[in-house]
Chains A and B, each alone.
Chain A
Amino acid sequence: MEQKRWCMLIFLVSFLFIGLESVGSRGWIYAQEGKFPVKPIELVVPYAPGGIVDLGSRVVTEALSRELKVPVIVKNQPGGGGLVAPTAYLTVKADGYSLLAGSSGAIITTNLLSKTPAFDPRTTFLPVGFIADSPIALSVPNASPFKSIADLVQFAKKNPGKLKGGVSSIGSENHIMFMSVLNDTKIDIKMIPYTATGTLVTAILGEHVDWMTLTLPATLPYAKSGGVRILALTKKSPELPGVPAGPAVGLPGFSSTIWMGILVLPQTPKAIYEKLVATVQKVTQDPETKKKLASLGFNVNYKGPQEFSNFLNDQWENSSRIIKETGIKVN
């Protein structure tokens, strides 16, 4: 008898929970109970497996899983130069179980270049935490006579149209930074676009192009092995103390970085949001995670929601100014 009553009670309670679950689609039940998370969380990555943001995200999800005690899974949703994922993300349930891995390309650049942007990165998403960034490098082949940006600019001014510059993937942050150099110095060079990092690097090592702009993680290996020489970075890096940042050598626009951060929808319940903010902050302080991200070329550089939001505004303005001034148009 006793047993039967218990069974009945458990049945009723679970029934109640199922009912509440559907009512609480805005997630307030978890918020009230303070029980988040109770099921796996997905991190939507706007690129195919294998890119630097993808690999970085996998390091982060591993740490998040450990911290949140539920599996945090990377969901790759590539397409449209990174635009497909954030656009699709607009329709997910804002319950904290789906996070967006934001990055410069997907959230800002591609969106700025889009004819009909579906979102505004400054207002559509709620920043959770900025995790890490990485500068873009301007480099020349090691055999090149140019030892500094000044050398390069001087030669280009004397010989308009002579130099060939390589850039990987049009519409990417690398491309915007390439154009910013031309915009700041008013030099006339040929821009040769490559479709993948591998082919661009082959071209610069084979001295088929005179200089290139490429992310530091992708450039650094060749700088270390003596294949290329880095003349400037968009931001000073602890790994290369001797290399100046763009603004210091007359390239004020050469200052955007490749970054990685986590965003959610603004409708996310407050308690869940706060838990996510705290967890992301904690994860970025973990030395093991820091080390792994650093080996990929990322500088862990945590920014809280407010700072992240300001950062988004700054990047948006810098990129849109360069795009406007150089007349980059892809659509």
Chain B
Amino acid sequence: MDTLNSFYHGLLIAMQPVNLFYCLIGVTAGTLVGVLPGIGPTAAVSLLLPTTYHLNPLSAIIMLCGIAYGSQYGGSTTSILVNVPGEASSVVTCLDGYQMARKGRAGPALGIAAWGSFIAGTISTLAVMLLAPILAKTALKFDSPDYFSLMLMALLMVTYLVKGSMLKALLMVGLGFVLGTVGMDPISGRERFTYDFNVLKDGIGIIPIVMGMFGVTEILETMGSSIKVEVFEKNIKGFWPNRQDWKDSGAPIARGTLLGFVMGIFPGISPMIPTFLSYGLEKKLSKHPERFGTGMIAGVAGPEACNNAASAGALVPLLSLGIPSNAFNAVLLGAFMIYGLQPGPMLIQSSPDLFWGLLASMYIGNVMLLVLNLPLIPLWVKVLQIPYSLLSVLILVFCFLGAYSINNNIFDVIITFAFGIFGYLIKKFGFEAPPLILAFVLCPLIEVAFRQSMIASDGSFLIFIQQPISACLIVVTFGILILGIINKRSFVKEIDVEE
């Protein structure tokens, strides 16, 4: 009852015109940041921070948070329309979302992404409100071996990401790992595969890789095909998800929300990882796994709900412990500090107005985003009617601008282009990009967790089964593997047969 009262009080604060106004600015800016490839919420918030100094802290924080979850709404738009992930966490949305658009179903894809984001955003805000202190303590229980086992389990999902040959997928995983090791060795600090290029010291960025391998590759492929293909079917079949779409998306949204929220509370795990897991999970549970990658709405609904839930989940360690779990939350922590607020266990007691006001504003913000995004859908779909010869140039320009804006460095543009060509070549030979990207994102996490565990255990592998959490995860991982081998209707076989 107390929570309800506090929340009601928070709602009154969030409803004040000034706070509503800044909430609207935040979510609008967030949508824009999400739509534009390259520019992420972290950079946007750092740039906007000085302009908020004269505001009252609550309005400012409401606006900055609005940018974060707003960008998760916008990120799917470019993924679906032109196969360029607007945010790193919308990569998976490209797989089925873009295929839906090509079949003339861009509207339902965008619609379900917006509704999925809304449902996930609302439910996970509720979860932050009720469970934050308890959940934060759980995150603290995870030691390096537990992280390693968790990531190992995530890696299993690679098997569910492929459409074609498993062997080729595993080759891509290997390559993803190699690319992931470029840069400074996280444990000893030595340079690996940098060839004395200063820019390679920090490794290759994820944004140039995904923009290259999705956006640029797509354009090269269209240009490279000798027969002039019409990329999009002319007749657009409806703007809104129909009854069947809803039936197919309900459960994926629920599962995506849960997965995203739970993974989101662990510091250091990028929101990309749960979206891959969500996609893999939907494919595994689907009655028609073979149709994934050809425009299944479940493959859009799950991951899109997931990335919103993950972004809310990341607020758990920030608000209840003061731990920034990703780069964006680190900036947010800086903002809190500039306003003289201290996120952490004392926040609810010391600034209840802020805590409840912020959470209440997130409900309002999510409603605003829905109202903002749904009417935009017909407009977005119109974008597809631009002749592809023109659209492709625009896409290229946005990709390269986005790549340049990350570090103000031309090198990222070269990387984007190089991965575009690389993506085109591997596609010609029947390889797929998603396993490479998942391996690339997981590589640093797996490596660091593994080596931290090895240092702690003096090189004994037993550490992974001595710690209870890790042991459970390892058992589940190997369980899935063994079941896959003995089960006749195993997933791998299904794919082989299909080929």
| Residues of A that sit less than 8 Å from B by CB | 48-52, 54-55, 58-59, 61-62, 75-81, 83-84, 87, 113, 115-116, 161, 164, 170-171, 175, 190-199, 201-203, 205-206, 208, 217, 221-222, 224-227, 292, 295-297, 329-331
CB < 8 Å A-B pair total: 167
B residues in contact with A55, CB < 8 Å: 46, 49, 331, 334, 338
Alpha-carbon gap, A55 to B185, bound state (A): 27
B residues in contact with A51, CB < 8 Å: 330
- Please state if A49 and B43 are interface contacts (CB–CB under 8 Å): yes
Is B42 located at the chain interface by the 8 A CB criterion?
yes
- Please state if A58 and B268 are interface contacts (CB–CB under 8 Å): no
Is B139 located at the chain interface by the 8 A CB criterion?
yes
- Please state if A330 and B184 are interface contacts (CB–CB under 8 Å): yes
- Please state if A198 and B46 are interface contacts (CB–CB under 8 Å): no
- 8 extra A-B contacts, CB within 8 A, seeds A224-B342, A224-B346: A48-B407, A51-B330, A61-B50, A79-B202, A192-B452, A198-B329, A330-B190, A331-B190
Alpha-carbon gap, A170 to B455, bound state (A): 15
Interface residues of B in 79-93 (CB under 8 A from A): none
- Please state if B201 and A206 are interface contacts (CB–CB under 8 Å): no
Partner of B201 from the list A83, A193, A194 (CB cut-off 8 Å) is A83
B315 → chain A closest CB, angstroms = 13
Q: Which among B329, B337, B340 has the highest number of chain A CB atoms within 10 Å?
A: B337
Alpha-carbon gap, A81 to B331, bound state (A): 19
> What 0/1 pattern do residues 255 to 275 of B give for CB contact below 8 A with A?
000000000000110000000
Alpha-carbon gap, A296 to B49, bound state (A): 13
B residues in contact with A84, CB < 8 Å: 198-199, 201, 409
- Please state if B323 and A193 are interface contacts (CB–CB under 8 Å): no
Is B37 located at the chain interface by the 8 A CB criterion?
no
B residues in contact with A164, CB < 8 Å: 456
Alpha-carbon gap, A317 to B456, bound state (A): 32
- Please state if B196 and A222 are interface contacts (CB–CB under 8 Å): no
Is B444 located at the chain interface by the 8 A CB criterion?
yes
- Please state if A198 and B198 are interface contacts (CB–CB under 8 Å): no
B residues in contact with A329, CB < 8 Å: 190
Partner of A225 from the list B142, B201, B326, B342 (CB cut-off 8 Å) is B342
- Please state if A206 and B189 are interface contacts (CB–CB under 8 Å): no
- Which residue of chain B is the closest to A191 with respect to CB atoms? B455
- Please state if B201 and A208 are interface contacts (CB–CB under 8 Å): no
Partner of A330 from the list B46, B188, B268 (CB cut-off 8 Å) is B188
B333 → chain A closest CB, angstroms = 8
A residues in contact with B196, CB < 8 Å: 115-116
- Please state if A296 and B321 are interface contacts (CB–CB under 8 Å): no
- Please state if B408 and A75 are interface contacts (CB–CB under 8 Å): yes
A residues in contact with B339, CB < 8 Å: 295
12 contacts between A and B (CB under 8 A): A52-B334, A55-B49, A77-B408, A87-B198, A113-B189, A171-B184, A196-B267, A198-B323, A202-B140, A221-B322, A221-B343, A227-B321
Is B372 located at the chain interface by the 8 A CB criterion?
no
Alpha-carbon gap, A296 to B328, bound state (A): 17
- Please state if A79 and B189 are interface contacts (CB–CB under 8 Å): no
B271 → chain A closest CB, angstroms = 14
Is B324 located at the chain interface by the 8 A CB criterion?
yes
Is B47 located at the chain interface by the 8 A CB criterion?
yes
- Please state if B46 and A171 are interface contacts (CB–CB under 8 Å): no
Which 9 residue pairs across A and B have the least CB separation, nearest first? A49-B46, A330-B189, A170-B189, A206-B140, A50-B331, A80-B201, A80-B198, A225-B344, A198-B267
Partner of A331 from the list B186, B191, B334, B409 (CB cut-off 8 Å) is B191
B residues in contact with A202, CB < 8 Å: 139-140, 142, 267-268, 317, 323
- Please state if B268 and A196 are interface contacts (CB–CB under 8 Å): yes
B residues in contact with A78, CB < 8 Å: 202, 407
A residues in contact with B46, CB < 8 Å: 49-50, 54-55, 58, 76
